Amino acid sequence: MRTKLLAALGAMLLALAACGPAAQEATATPTNPPVRATTAPSVTATPLPQGPTPAAAAAAAAATATPAPVATAAPAIAKPKYGGVLKTPLRTDPFGWDVMQITGGYLDMRKQFIVVFNTLASQPSTPEVKPCQTTVRLELLESWRVVDETTVEFKLRPGLKFHNKPPVNGREATADDLAYSLNRALFVYPIRGADSLAPRIKSIDVVDKYTVRLKTAGPVPQVPTTLLATQYGTTVVPKEVWPKEVVNDPYKAYIGTGPFMFKEYRPGVKVVHEKNPSYWKEGLPYLDGLEYVIMPDISTRTASLRSGRLDMIVEEVPAPIVSVLEKDPRINIQGCPATSGYNFLWMDAMNPKSPFSDLRVRRAVSMAVDRDNLLKSTMQGRGYDTPHAPPALHEWYLATGDFPPEIRKYLEYRPEEAKKLLAEAGYPPGSIKTGIEITAQYTSPYPEIVQALNAQLAQVGIEARLNWMEYATWLQRGQVCKWEGMRIGRMAYEDEWRHLAKLNSKIGCAENKAGIADPGLDPFIDQLLVTVDPAKQKELAAQIQFRIVDQAWVVSIPDVKDYSAANIWVKNWNRGGYAAFASTYNEIIWLDR
């Protein structure tokens, strides 16, 4: 398997190298137009000395393990039409505009960010890419390479133009902007995944007009993967318009290199972007603009899609509603395994006054969860089990059957054993009375999952009340570890390194929401983050997962697929298989109406 993955990575890097402007011009098609008026020397990309990037792993996973989508988007025809405004919904107003600052509500904000700004690399959405498949190409970068074990080099494409808006006025993006952006992402507002990386960066140096080098203190194998694989902060912003005081004013700060330009924000109503007429990819985008309509209610969103008021819904169609939309011949549906995050039940395990500080109680909770029942009942069979890590980890992913029997039992439904453990810990039926914090921000099937989970806990004698909270309150309590009892929600997934480091005691409450400090876990995580050897990485990744499940620090909950839906007049849409990785699907969509 490792050989196959390394081969896949090598092929991917060669493909990335071939994605320079000259190569694109030689193979241009109506849906993959050439880069606008730039030339570049031949590009080489040096493979990393460790395992594949998250996107490479996801690509390999898609070929072997990704379930088939519900339906494919309508096939493209030869001549796309220009014009029209694509209307899609937002669940809520953006919580902010800077992906480097916001740790919650990122989905609605991310949709704005990725159309105004390009990322260093992306997964393209072209008709030849299969639904749910992840492929990777360099976007703003012409190349990257590992110079030595403590140096990584990034080279920008020549000729990248910022939006023609003051004070930038369409000037070229340079290495100074890239260095500024990397410094900001790593040190000013650490992006998701970078806060554990930043202390090991010694310098960010501009080499020439388009080249930047990162120097690290010792081997840091996840430098390229963290900076290339996540869309949080992996972009180039103009240094003169992103000071701290204006960053959350989109009218001033939202000037990027992307296919659309910010136009208008009406709180509670909509966010509007207009076409960038000087986009560096010649011939794109096809649309005149994008309109994100703020619609908190899922039933309203669904009705608006079916009536044609909305053109499409991205990643936010609940599994129960999919069954209805599947019967509508005017709607195309795509369902992919979720990679943006996954479900977990947290317990205040570090609180000495809490029953969950007792290992026996935490293990009892895990064995009280009937995961198969949750998959069948609340998700209508449209989900999959995640013992600890999502399948997107691929090479480091462990299915339930991969755990040793003495640990695997804590992932299995064993209510009688759970009752015995509770009794041994001194908790007879009904003596544990706790709450489960949940936010109404998570729509169906999450409320159904929580209700079913609550009933399963009651069967082993744990009485839990559901504490529904506004998202802002729920989010704030988690980020400062100020909560008691239990808490269920999504744990964001960005890349394999960050994922397996979330429960490190040094991470902080923004990710380690229970403040878990396990001296039997931290050394494995610390070692993983500096290990270059792929075989050793895989071994450490397994030990981390074994320890987390054995100690029941968090209890895994099955996850449901991410579903998108679009009316039949929406052409060339295809959400890539790796939701946490930036996608360019908006720039090639066109409307046939």
Number of neighbours of residue 278 by Cβ within 10 angstroms: 13
Q: How confident is the model at residue 341 (pLDDT cuts 50, 70, 90)?
A: low
Question: Residue 369: what are its φ and ψ, rounded to 5°?
Answer: -85, 120
In sequence order, the 6+-apart residues with CB closer than 8 A to the CB of 472 are 95, 104
Which residues lie across from 560 on neighbouring strands?
A: 383
pLDDT given at position 307: 95
Q: Which of 56-60, 146-150, 161-165, 280-284 is predicted least confidently?
A: 56-60
In sequence order, the 6+-apart residues with CB closer than 8 A to the CB of 217 are 150, 200, 201, 202
Higher-pLDDT residue of 453, 510: 453
Answer whether 439's CB lies under 8 Å from 577's CB. Answer: no
Render pLDDT for 27-51 as a digit per residue (tens, 0 to 9). 222 233 333 332 222 222 323 233 3
Q: How far apart are CA 557 and CA 549, in angstroms?
A: 12
Domain co-membership, 199 together with 105: yes
Q: How far apart are CA 353 and CA 132, in angstroms?
A: 45
In a domain, 310, yes or no: no
Q: Using alpha carbons, select from 105, 547, 117 the residue that is nearest to residue 341.
A: 105
Domain count, the chain: 2
In a domain, 48, yes or no: no
In a domain, 479, yes or no: yes
Q: What is the CATH number of the domain that holds 458?
A: 3.10.105.10
Answer whether 397's CB lies under 8 Å from 389's CB. Answer: yes
Is residue 224 over pLDDT 80? no
Residue 519 class from Cβ within 10 Å (0-12 exposed, 13-18 middle, 19+ buried)? exposed
Higher-pLDDT residue of 514, 559: 514
Name the token pair of 519.
Answer: 């001296």
Q: What is the mean pLDDT of residues 280-293?
A: 95
Higher-pLDDT residue of 234, 344: 344
Tell me if residue 387 falls in helix, strand or coil: coil
Domain co-membership, 402 together with 463: yes
pLDDT given at position 161: 95
Domain co-membership, 572 together with 556: no
pLDDT given at position 283: 93
Domain co-membership, 149 together with 247: yes
SS (H, E, C) 505-557: CCCCCCCCCCCCCCCCCHHHHHHHCCCCCHHHHHHHHHHHHHHHHHHCCEEEC
Q: Using alpha carbons, select from 161, 159, 157 the residue that is nearest to residue 143.
A: 157
In a domain, 50, yes or no: no
Domain co-membership, 494 together with 580: no
Q: How far apart are CA 210 and CA 470, in angstroms?
A: 45
Domain co-membership, 99 together with 208: yes
Is residue 580 over pLDDT 90? no
Higher-pLDDT residue of 224, 106: 224
Q: What is the mean pLDDT of residues 344-372?
A: 95
Q: What is the mean pLDDT of residues 127-134?
A: 66
Domain co-membership, 89 together with 110: yes
Domain co-membership, 488 together with 352: yes
Q: How far apart are CA 347 and CA 21, in angstroms?
A: 51
Q: What is the mean pLDDT of residues 380-387?
A: 79
In a domain, 83, yes or no: yes
Q: Which of 152-156, 461-465, 496-500, 575-579 is predicted least confidently?
A: 575-579
Residue 428 class from Cβ within 10 Å (0-12 exposed, 13-18 middle, 19+ buried)? exposed
What does the CA dihedral 194, 197, 199, 203 come to, rounded to 10 degrees? -90
Q: How far apart are CA 518 and CA 525, in angstroms?
A: 11
Render pLDDT for 235-273 as a digit per residue (tens, 0 to 9). 888 988 876 656 678 888 899 999 999 999 999 999 999
Q: How confident is the model at residue 310 (pLDDT cuts 50, 70, 90)?
A: very high
Q: How confident is the model at residue 582 (pLDDT cuts 50, 70, 90)?
A: low
Q: What is the mean pLDDT of residues 533-559?
A: 92
Q: How far apart are CA 172 and CA 154, in angstroms?
A: 17
Q: Which amino acid is at 301?
A: R
**DSSP annotation of 264:** E
Alpha-carbon distances of 525 from 50, 170, 506, 522, 537, rounded to whole Å: 16, 44, 10, 5, 10
pLDDT given at position 78: 54
H or E stretch including 319? helix 319-325
In a domain, 502, yes or no: yes
In sequence order, the 6+-apart residues with CB closer than 8 A to the CB of 128 are none
In a domain, 238, yes or no: yes
Side by side, the strands of the sheet bearing 151-156 are 141-148, 151-156, 211-216, 201-206
- pLDDT above 70: percentage of residues in the chain: 74
Is residue 121 over pLDDT 60? yes
In a domain, 4, yes or no: no
Domain co-membership, 547 together with 573: no
Domain co-membership, 431 together with 554: yes
Higher-pLDDT residue of 414, 249: 414
Domain co-membership, 135 together with 179: yes
Number of neighbours of residue 592 by Cβ within 10 angstroms: 15
Q: State which residues form the domain around 504.
A: 341-560
Is residue 330 over pLDDT 70? yes
Averaged pLDDT of the chain: 78
Tell me if residue 382 falls in helix, strand or coil: coil
Q: How confident is the model at residue 542 (pLDDT cuts 50, 70, 90)?
A: very high
H or E stretch including 498? helix 496-501
What does the CA dihedral 510, 511, 514, 515 come to, rounded to 10 degrees? -80
Q: How far apart are CA 38 and CA 22, in angstroms?
A: 8
Higher-pLDDT residue of 231, 311: 311
Domain co-membership, 581 together with 500: no
**Residue whose token pair is 């339930």:** 400
